[in-house]
Amino acid sequence: MDTVRDPIAFELFRNTLLSIADEMALTILRTAYSGVLRDNMDYSTAFCDGAGRTVAQGLTLPAHLSSFPDALAATIARYGDRMKPGDVYCLNDPFEGGMHIPDVFVLKPIFFEGERLAFAATICHQTDMGGRVAGSNASDSTEIYQEGLRIPPVKMYDQGEPNETLFRLFEKNVRVPVRVLGDIRAQLSACHIAEEAFLRLVHRHGAKQVKAYMEEVLEHTERLTRAVLRELPDGEWSFEDWIDDDGVEYGKPIRLFVTFRKQGDSLVADWTGTSPQPKGAITNTLSFTKAATYTCLKSVLSHDIPCNAGFYRAIDVIAPPGTIANGVLPAASAARGLTGFRMIDTCFGALARMLPARSIAASEGGNTGVSIGGYYPDRNPFIFVEFFCSAWGGRAWSDGLDGNANLMANMSMPPVEITEAEQPLRVHRTEFIQDVGGAGKYRGGASIRRDYEMLEDEAVLQVRSDRHDFRPYGLYGGSPGQPSQNVMNPDTENRPLPSKLTMAMKRGDVFSHRSAGPGGWGDPLERDPARVARDVKNEFVSRARAREDYGAVFKGDSLEVDEAATASRRDEIRRRRGWTEPPFVSR
């Protein structure tokens, strides 16, 4: 009997591959040197077949969906049949398989009896890759040549022997080589773990059967995806949103526009109409635009669909070259994460027209990137890199999540104690912001404020944020969230800063970032007054906003709802606003 047709054997095999990808992720977590991997968890792992198709992806970042096929395709195109057992490859070039320069791929082909059967694949955001700004993540670079060490697909190991030239280039071009090379060794360890686990499978089942199983994993996922797509309505839905600016041409908005066309068991996501690539470093590679698109679609389809290349087969992503969705040389892309996160909101705007019952209002605009780099008195460098998310938009069935990772980046916030122990920084506060989320039947989540004090003489502060000018939209009558804010020395000069910046910090300076508030979903006057009272009790909503936004009236100083006064207040608000049917989107 062909064991591919044995559902129990197949499911055991599929879950074994998933376990391998997850074990790779845990290996990096446990062996990484840097906080951006160990604490922030900005990395991904995957197990791929011999052709470079993703068969299983670890439970890490949705932002890296579709990253491995492009990286492996570029590597296979360059080396093809010249790959040998013991080889390991690396790359980060956004124009030859990479995503942006800080993200370094380490890829290991796995051979059995001379045949390449699979690849172990990892991608990690390195603390620094050189370039003009510590952290290699500046928004205001204007060409890729400013951003750091650019690596096309090259051999890191040649039949088990390290490429000393490459390692020396790393050592001499990055500011913190011990940390960077330590993280690369973590990636190598993860690949080694995957190789050993996979070869045990091959010895158990045989190479022919293992290849058949991997092919079936992809075909099974494609069948599931197409079956779910067939259940959705056919049609065309579009949505536009705007990025504040690119950090170079301040005040010049950048349009994001997507159209979903669904017919039968396939779907096209077309980004035609999106702005040309800007001067600043926020241009996407096509793979990152695909990742944002896949993340949104995956979140509204069945959770039973695995994350692998079979899912991609039913979805065609179009992004014209030379746009912010698909950059061409010499586009800078180090801060391209900002655009990917904003594409999430754009996709959900279109999906909210297609599938209202599964919709989510705009989230906080994506994670905020903060890099602070400088030198100690002995000229040894320090680099702090942190990405923190805040909250989700209101959903068609529930409030947005408070203080939670963005859908596209399953990242954690580094502990304050670790940050202060390892960096010359003091974190003054990490707290929820009151009245930041958009009002709605289901309100936007509570976003986060974080304040950092510089303890050394000076450093360079680099910040990548957005939603300062264009607030997160609400859906179906929900209100937009409050804008983000960057402030220098909030308790003294209280100086406002733009959403993207590179500037000097001096000893004693305090930088404060307040994330934008997610949008609300549904008419706020339909929210259960008891839920409003609970929000006031938890200090997510002030008493003043409870009355103004929700029409909730309490008895005296208590939080007991005055039902009659609340009904009267809500009728008054409805008469004042002059409409009864909420708009689709509120900005």
Query: How big, in percent rounded to 5, are the helix, strand and coil portions of the chain?
Result: 35, 25, 40
- Tokens for 463? 């910040």
> Which pLDDT score is estimated for 484?
97
CA gap 73, 107 in Å, rounded: 11
- Tokens for 346? 């754009």
Contact 494, 514 (CB under 8 A): no
> Which pLDDT score is estimated for 5?
67
> Which pLDDT score is estimated for 1?
38
547: left (phi over 0), alpha (psi -120 to 50) or beta: alpha
> Which pLDDT score is estimated for 497?
97
Q: pLDDT digits over 130-171, tens only? A: 999 999 988 999 999 999 999 999 999 999 999 999 999 999
Q: pLDDT digits over 456-514, tens only? A: 999 999 999 999 999 999 999 999 999 999 999 999 999 999 999 999 999 999 999 99
Q: What percent of the chain has pLDDT over 70?
A: 99
Q: pLDDT digits over 10-50, tens only? A: 899 999 999 999 999 999 999 999 999 998 889 999 999 99
Please give the DSSP secondary-structure letter assigned to residue 556.
T
What is the pLDDT confidence band of residue 411, given thresholds at 50, 70 and 90? confident
**Across-strand partners of 450?**
430, 513
Please give the DSSP secondary-structure letter assigned to residue 201.
H
> Which pLDDT score is estimated for 410?
81
Question: Is the model's pLDDT at 3 over the cut of 60?
Answer: no
> Which pLDDT score is estimated for 266?
96
- Tokens for 425? 């920084």
Q: What's the average model confidence in pLDDT over 381-407?
A: 93
What is the pLDDT confidence band of residue 543, given thresholds at 50, 70 and 90? very high
> Which pLDDT score is estimated for 6?
81
What is the pLDDT confidence band of residue 413, given thresholds at 50, 70 and 90? confident
Domain boundaries, the chain: 3-222, 360-587
Contact 347, 366 (CB under 8 A): no
Q: pLDDT digits over 550-582, tens only? A: 999 999 999 999 999 999 999 999 998 876 667
Q: Maximum Cα–Cα distance for the chain, whole Å? A: 80
> Which pLDDT score is estimated for 95?
97
Q: pLDDT digits over 186-230, tens only? A: 999 999 999 999 999 999 999 999 999 999 999 999 999 999 999
| Residue recorded with tokens 């989540």 | 445
Q: What is the mean pLDDT of the chain?
A: 94
CA gap 518, 392 in Å, rounded: 6
3-state secondary structure of 569: helix
Question: Is the model's pLDDT at 9 over the cut of 60?
Answer: yes
Instruction: Kindly write down the DSSP assignment for every residue of 319-366, as one continuous string.
Output: --TTBTTB--TT---TTTHHHHHHHHHHHHHHHHHH-GGG-B---SSS
Question: Which of 276, 243, 278 has its CA nearest to residue 141?
Answer: 278
What element of type H or E holds 298?
A: helix 286-300
> Which pLDDT score is estimated for 106?
98
Q: What's the average model confidence in pLDDT over 231-245?
A: 96
Amino acid identity for residue 191 in this structure: C
Give the Å distances, CA to CA, from 244 to 69, 141, 472, 560: 31, 17, 12, 41
